[in-house]
Structure 1
Amino acid sequence: MKLYNKTGLLLLGSLLLNLGCSKQAETVTPESDNFLSVYEQINSADIKRHMQILASDEFEGRSPTSKGEQLTLDYLSTELLALGLQPGNGDSFLQAVDLVEITAAPDMTLHIGENQFTYKQDMVVSTKREKTSVELKDSELVFVGFGVNAPEYGWNDYEGIDVKGKTVVILVNDPGFEMPQSGKFQGTTMTYYGRWTYKYEEASRQGAAAAIIVHETVPASYGWSVVANSWSGPQYSLVSKDGNASRVAVEGWLTTEAAQKVFADAGLNFAEQKQLALAGPHHQTLALKASVTINSSLKKSTSYNVLATLPGVTHPQEHIIYSAHWDHLGKDSSKDGDQIYNGAHDNATGVAANLALAKAYSALSVKPQRSVSFLFVTAEEQGLLGSKYYAEHPIIPLKDTVANINMDALSVLGRTKDVAVVGMGKSELENYLAKAAMRQNRILVQESRPEAGIYFRSDHFSFAQQGVPALYAKGGDEPIDEATAKYRKRTNVIVTGCYHQVCDQFRDNWDLSGIVEDGQLLFEVGYMLANSEDWPKWSPTSEFQRKQ
């Protein structure tokens, strides 16, 4: 049964359930029967059921604005309504997100000097501008090191050079990664200056015509196939008033091998130039010109975030928001064989856990003092667009949003003795997490690869940018026992190799007990906050602070 029409308005009518929002005086703590009975109800059977359905071929990889989205919205709406949760957006579970889909024709060639680079093999370029054709013609090339302008670190790769109308070539990550003992930036922990999103934003602010990042697997933390798959085909942006004219006209990536050819043609050595960029702010003209024509088809469409709420009994205006992105990469009809990017790990795991937590909260005999909301966002894979839109157009005012707890690509590797905190040390939310972890005899540790910049790569970041304390944590790397260790060794090879690949499919032999335990952990964090008057703060050293 569909629960909404084409405009996204729910046809709820008499289906809306009375949640009983009268005040309840009973004291609620994580030691009460109210909490403990529900804590144990979070289970692998529910999580498995959700994952199998969401990651099935029928859902076609859950691409925004596709048949897969329609099926996903139907499924989420049906499940949330059955739990007795209230629509989060007036009388609707849905928040419309206006997107522009830009699909670049693959028959393009990037010319740099005497070299011709092939799409997906040597390079991937695209445009965010809402135009059917964008031409870069004889644009001067400038190497700008890491493309960073960071006054607080005394670093500006653009100082002393005018790149207006030029093509900037940029290294991936930030200067601290390969020289962790240098004291630069935050060592191996990536700052936002290392993210590709920042590099294109800064190049746009500098007036460049194009920005091309040199891909290197280790500092990027993913291989070239991830870039080729993620950056080709339909690409989405939020609809903007200026048609994204304020962005660089062309943005993209070069393989390391292609970059080496470019630097050699300019009479330079790529490795030597990289060392100069690591030593300090650096730029170098390359005495070459770049040209490419990007012909694109444009399609404006509307996708949807999904929001459901369990109203609080004494402070209903104050919310804890759990989030997970429902989308993945969809279907590539040009591929031979399997064409569906099912997205079982990324992120049917997070969606399933969010639904399991929604079920747990709805089963509480004594409802929380504050409201608890469950947000499922679209277009995460296209640059956190759904959460970005929500954070910039919040249904729940940000000043009333106590915290965000995000779930993305939860571990299918079984239970662990540790909890990996992504972006460890950023906020007081970790105090609540540490307390909840004690029940499971687990300890908090820093994420295993802080150099990958994961804190900037999932939907909690959209909340953090707006000043809302945001937590992203999941199972760590230390298995609970030897049997789990052996299982992890076998399974991790598959999980890692299937990131953003068609082989990210649900497997019946996956051990989901780690997701259950992490779900229980995050349930307790939210439960403590929902029955508290505390407003967690960012740490003094964090780059984020509340705006309201």
Structure 2
Amino acid sequence: MRLRTLALPFLALTAVPAAAQTAPPISEATLKDVTKELSSDAYEGRAPGTAGEEKTVAYLAKRFAAAGLAPGNKGSWYQDVPLVEMTAKNVSPLTFSGAGAPIALAYGPQMVIGTHRIQPHVAVKDSPVVFVGYGITAPEKGWDDYAGIDVRGKTVLILVNDPDWQQPDVGGLFNGRAMTYYGRWTYKYEEAARHGAAAAIIVHQTAPAAYGWNVVQSSWTGAQQLADSTDGGAGESAAIGWIQHDAAQRLFAQAGQSFETLAAAAKRKGFRAVALKGVTASVSFDNAIRKHMSRNVVGVLPGRTRPDNYVLYSAHWDHLGRCEAAPDGDDICNGAIDNATGTAALVALAEANAKAGAPARSQIFLAVTGEESGLLGSEYYAANPLYPLARTVAGVNMDALSMAGPARNVVVIGKGKSDLDGWLDRALATQGRVASAEPTPEKGFYYRSDHFSFAKRGVPMVYFEGGDDLVKGGRTAGKAAAEDYEAHRYHGPKDEYDPAWDWTGVARDVQLYYTLGRSLADSDVWPNWVAGDEFRAIRDKSRAAAATSAK
């Protein structure tokens, strides 16, 4: 009966936020201690399946217990997540032959290569090369870059992002400068595999990719984590990877084509794939394969009066482990900001909520594995939820908190998609702050963090970043801080704990997370996606089914 009555406000066009909670002080000591601990060299970059993971999950379980949570999985703090670690060995150059002198690209500085097939050796030999533009098949938009060509057994070269990513505003066929899922590199490989491509290679360009080659190189070299699968990835392309922009330019020129001309043509509806006449690709490598069980860490604060309704807090605990060394020889990607800070916030929120006493609804505190490898831990939980998603009211995701200092705003990723915007606005009002839309929607952040695993299954999720309008220096200073982090620390060995950090801004942001999660947990309202949103129908269906089952 309880779910039947709660379904009524859920079906309203707009969910009305409850009064914003007064956030208690967030322990700055906890934020500092957990961040410093998890990003220390002793954890070796927190890669799944390493000694660093063992230390990380044990430490988080200990901190959750000390905070006052209960184990979240039938008496256990852990949810097993089956993964496969693949490490490429003996990587040959990626060689393009058949039009002039062969172009042989070196692994690391000129190309990266890998596979989602779980097999000890991969070889692509003399595979015809086809340029497929943005590699998109979108029937609902009347767009098909694979129309009229058979790429089975061939190597496809693909542009990153959407065709209209350079549009200055939002709107249009692919939402203008706001990236859609069609623009994500993960989609490019999925679509190439569906068309039977032997190899799928993305041409890297910094602006549409939203990061430099250094990020690609550090992320794609070394051990890679994949979700385990019953068929060993048999339906995947044999090889997937990236090449540098200048290498693509040289290759196209040797084949009698202009890369820039074809890239411009690919932006227009009706583009047809172009075979690089006579050009073939070859590459081979071995894989060291290790299947292992990684773990999500799950704690719960049971609800007082509606314990079968759940509000989720999530953050990923993992990072890249050992990676491409910095000039000083440091090869540990410590991941202090990304995402020891978000994990520390999870612990601090557990402490604050437990200290305040149980809210009406249950709160789940979920530290997930494998985010850096493709949202693997959150995807596994969302596909195998410990608590039903239809009864999960909403969630708050935390990833890479800003150490730039206090800001007048927060930057909402996916602003305007759900009723949670109103809840956040009320929380911000208690601090005299505002919510801003992301200034770089072309970077596709909406698809790059763990909230997406839940959102695509209908659970309303809010994900915001620290503000870019800093109290000291305004937007100019905010932009400079973001660019400095991306250029010098993001996914590199210098994302390390700094004792000189000012935690004032982070503490205020974590108070917002508390206010959001606590208000939702003490409410009887079910937020939804706005009418017409891509996830609205999924949520309506799951909630209707939950209401029916409660009758």
TM-score > 0.5 by shorter chain: yes
Match of 1:234 among 223, 229, 241: 223
> 1:332: how far off?
3.8
The answer to whether the 8 Å contact 1:326/1:348 transfers is: yes
Q: Deviations over 1:54-79 (max 9, x none)?
A: 11111111111111111111110111
Match of 2:281 among 290, 299, 306: 290
Structure 1 pair 106–501 and aligned structure 2 pair: CA distance change class (3 A)? farther
AA of the residue aligned to 1:276: A
The answer to whether the 8 Å contact 2:323/2:493 transfers is: no
Match of 1:156 among 138, 144, 154: 144
The answer to whether the 8 Å contact 1:427/1:469 transfers is: yes
> 1:183: how far off?
2.9
The answer to whether the 8 Å contact 1:110/1:118 transfers is: yes
Match of 1:219 among 205, 208, 231: 208
**Using the alignment, how far apart are the partners of 1:337 and 1:115 within structure 2?**
30
> 1:518: how far off?
1.0
Structure 1 pair 484–196 and aligned structure 2 pair: CA distance change class (3 A)? closer
Please show how residues 440-479 of structure 1 align to structure 2 within 5 Å.
440-479=431-470
- Equivalent position of 2:240 in the other structure: 251
Match of 1:346 among 338, 362, 371: 338
Structure 1 pair 201–385 and aligned structure 2 pair: CA distance change class (3 A)? same
The answer to whether the 8 Å contact 1:263/1:270 transfers is: yes
> 1:171: how far off?
0.2
Please show how residues 439-518 of structure 1 align to structure 2 within 5 Å.
439-482=430-473, 489=480, 493-494=484-485, 496-518=487-509
Structure 1 pair 106–413 and aligned structure 2 pair: CA distance change class (3 A)? farther
The answer to whether the 8 Å contact 2:113/2:240 transfers is: yes
> 1:455: how far off?
0.6
SS in 2 for 1:273: helix
Match of 2:94 among 107, 110, 113: 110
The answer to whether the 8 Å contact 1:322/1:354 transfers is: yes
AA of the residue aligned to 1:107: V
SS in 2 for 1:328: coil
- Equivalent position of 1:15 in the other structure: none
Match of 1:375 among 348, 366, 370: 366
> 1:402: how far off?
1.0
Q: Deviations over 1:425-476 (max 9, x none)?
A: 1111111011111101111110121110001000001111212111101222
AA of the residue aligned to 1:40: P
Match of 1:306 among 294, 297, 305: 297
The answer to whether the 8 Å contact 1:407/1:472 transfers is: yes
Please show how residues 425-440 of structure 1 align to structure 2 within 5 Å.
425-440=416-431
The answer to whether the 8 Å contact 1:413/1:492 transfers is: no
> 1:484: how far off?
11
Give the aligned length.
515
**Using the alignment, how far apart are the partners of 2:520 and 2:391 within structure 1?**
13
1:356 aligned to 2:345? Answer: no
**Using the alignment, how far apart are the partners of 2:162 and 2:483 within structure 1?**
28
Q: Deviations over 1:307-363 (max 9, x none)?
A: 100000111111111000000011248776212111001001100111111111100
**Using the alignment, how far apart are the partners of 1:304 and 1:379 within structure 2?**
9
1:169 aligned to 2:161? Answer: no
Identity %: 47
> 1:175: how far off?
0.9
Task: Provide the TM-score with structure 1 as the length reference.
Answer: 0.91
**Using the alignment, how far apart are the partners of 1:323 and 1:207 within structure 2?**
36
List runs of 5+ in structure 1 lacking aligned partners: 1-27
The answer to whether the 8 Å contact 2:468/2:474 transfers is: no
SS in 1 for 2:289: strand
**Using the alignment, how far apart are the partners of 1:501 and 1:333 within structure 2?**
8
SS in 1 for 2:509: helix
- Equivalent position of 1:18 in the other structure: none
Structure 1 pair 294–107 and aligned structure 2 pair: CA distance change class (3 A)? closer
- Equivalent position of 2:11 in the other structure: none
Match of 1:88 among 52, 72, 77: 72
The answer to whether the 8 Å contact 2:451/2:462 transfers is: yes
AA of the residue aligned to 2:389: L
Point out which structure has higher relative CO (alpha carbons under 8 A, 6+ apart).
2
> 1:29: how far off?
7.1
Structure 1 pair 496–45 and aligned structure 2 pair: CA distance change class (3 A)? farther
The answer to whether the 8 Å contact 2:138/2:144 transfers is: yes
SS in 2 for 1:381: helix
> 1:275: how far off?
0.6
The answer to whether the 8 Å contact 2:395/2:517 transfers is: no
**Using the alignment, how far apart are the partners of 1:451 and 1:485 within structure 2?**
20
> 1:280: how far off?
2.3
Structure 1 pair 234–371 and aligned structure 2 pair: CA distance change class (3 A)? same
1:276 aligned to 2:260? Answer: no
The answer to whether the 8 Å contact 2:110/2:247 transfers is: yes
- Equivalent position of 2:514 in the other structure: 523
Q: Runs of 4+ in structure 1 displaced over 4 angstroms?
A: 28-31, 333-336, 482-492
> 1:519: how far off?
0.8
The answer to whether the 8 Å contact 1:415/1:484 transfers is: no
Q: Deviations over 1:92-117 (max 9, x none)?
A: 01000111111111532111122111
**Using the alignment, how far apart are the partners of 2:477 and 2:146 within structure 1?**
49
Task: Provide the TM-score with structure 2 as the length reference.
Answer: 0.90
- Equivalent position of 1:79 in the other structure: 63
CA RMSD in angstroms, aligned pairs only:
2.0
> 1:490: how far off?
6.4
1:399 aligned to 2:398? Answer: no
**Using the alignment, how far apart are the partners of 1:134 and 1:449 within structure 2?**
37
The answer to whether the 8 Å contact 2:39/2:336 transfers is: yes
AA of the residue aligned to 1:66: T
SS in 2 for 1:466: coil
**Using the alignment, how far apart are the partners of 1:173 and 1:490 within structure 2?**
25
